[in-house]
Structure 1
Amino acid sequence: MKKLLFVVLTLCSTTLFAQESNNGKKLWAKSVLNEKAPDLVVEKWLSKQPDTKGKFVLIDFWATWCGPCRKYIPMLNDFQQKYGDKLAVIGISDETEDRVKAFKDPKITYAEAIDTKRTLYSQLEVKGIPHVIIIDPKGIVRWEGFPLLGNFELTEKVLTDLMEKYKN
């Protein structure tokens, strides 16, 4: 019962904190589009730390209890598999190591880290998940937002267009 109440309150609070960007896209975080990305700081890598040098970096803020987060994991797995030579996909959860390690469905095949101190979450003022940022090889944020938001979805076409436009 407590978990259900927490989920309902979280969903309600994220709706209250939605902001609208210049293009009408709702954000549940501070906009950092076209700005230098914050340093990638995590508490602990649960997988091997990915090589990000010279690559695009997709950071997904997520949680094991989050339905939309779980729904998007297969797409992130596909992105990592198809574009791993030029893209590092990283999932960051603010949950405990045990909780994230126990999560098995769907299976995550990209890099995973935890940040129970919410260092990066706080810098980006993330108030709703999933929240994704895509950083180009020069360290500039080129995409941000809720990856399943109607009319603003982060699809394979959106990703490949970004990678083509902002490649070295």
Structure 2
Amino acid sequence: MEDLLQVGVITSTHGIRGEVKVFPTTDDVSRFKKLKNVILDNGKEHRDLEIESVKFFKNMVILKFKGIDNINDVEKYKKAPLFVTRENAVPLEEDEYFIADLIGLKVVSDEGEDLGIIDDVLQTGANDVYIIKKDNVEDLLVPAIHECIKNVDIEGGTMQVHLLAGLR
């Protein structure tokens, strides 16, 4: 399981006082109001940042970090992802999972057939769709609905699915 969960990506600066525009990658955008800290990890730098203020503009979140008061200090963080620790993540409801925990799960049918592993999750609005990859086989797309998803075992690394007619 991932220890850090992505909540957004810095897209650009906002103004000259060190604010940044963040594209949220979380289902609950209002969670930014409750966040106190985020972790910036752009591959070169791993930095804990304290959130000073939060604003919302269209589909973006505008964040101001404590101690960063100049556009020049945040310019280098464009396209950098922002993470939270698992302890600071939004609590999940029953049958809800973090995408990071689903990626890599081994998928088997309810008839015992090895279907591959979850490679990605499409968020369509109506329901998520799991993209299942297997060598030398066309990708399998399985909707994340109760009729298809029979069992998810994050600890065991497996998911059992029922393939409705027409999914192959």
- Taking structure 1 as the reference length, what is the TM-score of the superposition? 0.23
More helix by share: 1
More strand by share: 2
Q: Which has the higher contact order (CA 8 A, sep 6+)?
A: 1
